[in-house]
Chain A
Amino acid sequence: MRGCVRRFKTTLVAALLAAALPAGAAPRRVVSMNLCSDQLAMLLAAPGQLVSVSNLAQDPRMSPMADQAAAYPANTGRAEEIYLMAPDLVIAGTYTSGATVAMLRGLGIRVETLPPAEDFDAIRDAITRMGALLGREDGARDLLARFDAELAAARGTPDRGRAALYYANGFTSGRDTLAGTILDAAGYRNIAGDYGIATTTTLPLELLVMAGPDRLITGATWPGQSRGEAILDHPALSAVAPADAQVTDRDWVCGTPFVTRAIRSLR
């Protein structure tokens, strides 16, 4: 009980300290609670500045930085645990639970939300914004320059054929999505465009078969089976798609500099 009180006091002191700091100073205890902001924060934060990342960042199936993330204490995105970490800045995604964000703000913690980056300009903006939030503008500029160079090197020759993205439950992604952007940068024409699909939405299997894509990129399957993923094993899919079906992996999940690896993987 006494330990609890003491912990609460340290929390309170840290929170007061954070509030007392001048507005322009870089935050010293940053907690990230979104898989994508986790990666940008780990790439840009000063040593000791980042206190915790989300538990998803430690999952090698979703996070290209799982090894680095293992060095940080993980949070599961609940207001209580994040408050007890006494952060002076919390970085969340725009789709993070509204109740959690409101609760943290109500407790006097600064919460910034980063929208998901669906194209290269949005990734550039996210890098710059993260640099500004962490007070690491120089690091952000370097990262941006490296990203632009890698992107230019990764881009494929245009018109390499028609490709389809197909995920569990028969979903596909059009040009306004990160996966569609990756496909486009690799030099493929997305068949979703033939059916007027620009976002991520369902595409009936028979329309995919009728489109006859040159290349098929499917979603990764997860442990434990599901009926939604069974569509990826449908015989009609293997009948039309060439044998070398590519699987989207952790480099496809977030708008971070790692998307250049996803583009290169399509070569």
Chain B
Amino acid sequence: MRGLFIALSAGVAALFLASLLTGPAGLPMPESLRALLAGGNEPLPVVMREIRLPRAILGLAVGAGLGLTGAALQGYLRNPLAEPGLIGISGMAALGAVLAIQTGLSLAAPLALPLAALAGAAIGVGLLVALAGPRGGSVTLILAGVAISALAGAGTALVLNLSPNPYAANEIVFWLMGSLADRSMLHVWLALPPMLLGAVLTLSTRRALDALTLGEAAAQAMGVSAPALRWRLVAGTALIVGPATAVAGAIGFVGLVIPHVLRPWVGARPSALLPASALGGAALLLAADVAVRLVVPDRDLKLGVLTAIVGAPLFLHLIWKTRSGGRV
């Protein structure tokens, strides 16, 4: 298990560096790293510090957040289908962000953007937890998730279609698929603090989630307070998914794939799966973001396209398993 964490950390570090060194300008490696550290007003340090660094940081943070919340939601709902993108939490966050942008709130106060997305995500995850709960079966969860994501997607499209701005309607695809292109350090400062707080809250549920694997009654007997756990999880998820979606759009499947891939390696214990999934999510998103810049360098290929190509086959695999033997 320690080997797994070391390998994951090394992978994340390597991919972070790859993200910093990948771009259309094809900058020389030693000079660009020196420019990144030294700074300055010449074009090279500006590209490294203002364009590539925020992109790499956001790739790391958003990926880690999505992996972490995916693992936590799967642990709490005791359902391998739970994932912020799939069940509409990211969609609700996108709706909140779009509302903040189109009402002009985010112009008046930059913080309104992550806060509105946070509120959207909180409503989404709150609804889901209330409807599905730790005892809810897959059908309840998926039905609730489909309903919430359809409603959030329609709301986002409606708001953008009604906008007086000629570019707004084209942005539906960003809010549905996500992208890290041309984000600035401002976005990093807006998203990172609430996401860190959310990560602390979510990681604090590790022991309780371990206990919950034994069943609700057993967990209660072991001193786990169900309402406290629920609140920490709802708040933690909203604090992570809301700001992440506000700056990067709704990126799906990261929170689904990573816990599934890593679960066998950590003995299915949530306490180990949570941090491992955070590292795995960061690695997957950084890799996807490097790939979108290499596959079609002159187009802003959306991140969600790549994560769906990786994630959808896994989803089909899950259906296959359901067909061949009872519960997922």
The residues of A with any CB-CB pair to B shorter than 8 Å are: 168-170, 201-202, 204-207, 209-212, 222-231, 234-236, 239-240
Contact = CB atoms under 8 A, between A and B. Distances in A.
Given A209-B46, A235-B185, A228 B171 contact: yes
5 contacts: A169-B300, A206-B52, A209-B50, A222-B164, A225-B165
A225 B43 CA distance: 28
A224 B103 CA distance: 8
Contact of B182 (A205, A211, A212, A226): A205
B79 interface: no
A168 B148 CA distance: 31
B213 interface: no
A226 B168 contact: yes
A226 B171 CA distance: 8
B106 interface: yes
Contacts of B182: 170, 205, 230-231, 234
B47 A234 contact: no
Contacts of B174: 227
Contacts of B299: 202
A209 B27 CA distance: 12
Contacts of A226: 101, 163, 165, 167-168, 171
Interface string B20-38: 0001110100000000000
B167 A204 contact: no
Q: Which of A207, A212, A227 has the most CB of B within 10 A?
A: A227
Contacts of B170: 169, 228
B143 interface: no
A144 B186 CA distance: 50
Given A209-B50, A210-B25, 11 more contacts: A204-B25, A207-B25, A224-B165, A225-B102, A225-B168, A227-B167, A227-B174, A229-B167, A230-B182, A236-B51, A239-B46
B319 interface: no
Given A207-B25, A239-B46, A223 B184 contact: no
Contact of A235 (B25, B44, B184): B184
B104 interface: yes
A212 to B, nearest CB: 5
B186 to A, nearest CB: 7
B34 to A, nearest CB: 16
B35 to A, nearest CB: 11
B50 A168 contact: no
B147 interface: no
A201 B297 CA distance: 13
A173 B321 CA distance: 53
Interface string B147-185: 000000000000000011111101100100000001011
A223 B298 CA distance: 28
B179 to A, nearest CB: 9
A229 B107 CA distance: 13
A209 B166 contact: no
Contacts of A227: 101, 167, 171, 174
A207 B43 CA distance: 9
B107 A225 contact: yes
A144 B170 CA distance: 39
A38 B184 CA distance: 41
A168 B313 CA distance: 35
A202 B171 CA distance: 16
A1 to B, nearest CB: 34
Contacts of B46: 209, 236, 239-240
A224 B163 contact: yes
Contacts of A223: 164-165
A153 B108 CA distance: 44
By Cβ-Cβ distance, the 7 closest A-B pairs, closest first, are: A236-B50, A224-B165, A228-B167, A226-B167, A204-B24, A224-B164, A224-B163
B50 A239 contact: yes
Contacts of A212: 43
B255 to A, nearest CB: 23
Contact of B184 (A207, A228, A236): A236
Contacts of B23: 204, 206
Nearest to B175: A227
Contacts of A210: 25, 27, 43-44, 47
Contacts of B27: 210
A209 B43 contact: yes
B168 to A, nearest CB: 5
B318 to A, nearest CB: 33
Nearest to B49: A236
Contact of B51 (A169, A202, A205, A211): A205
A234 B24 contact: no
A133 B168 CA distance: 37
Contacts of B47: 206, 209-210, 236
